[in-house]
Chain A
Amino acid sequence: MADDHDIDALGAQYRDARDAIATHRRRQARAELALAAARRRHPENSEQVATARAAVERAVADVRWCQAVTIAAGEAYKGQSFEDVLANQTATAAEIRQRALASLDAGVAAETLEGE
Chain B
Amino acid sequence: MMENIKENRVEYFILFVAISVFMFLIYSFRFDRQMLILLSGIGSAFYIIWGITHQWLRGKLNKSVIYEYTLFGVLVFLLFFIVLSF
**Is chain B found bound to chain A in the same assembly?**
no
Give residues in B with beta carbon < 8 Å to A: none
Give residues in A with beta carbon < 8 Å to B: none
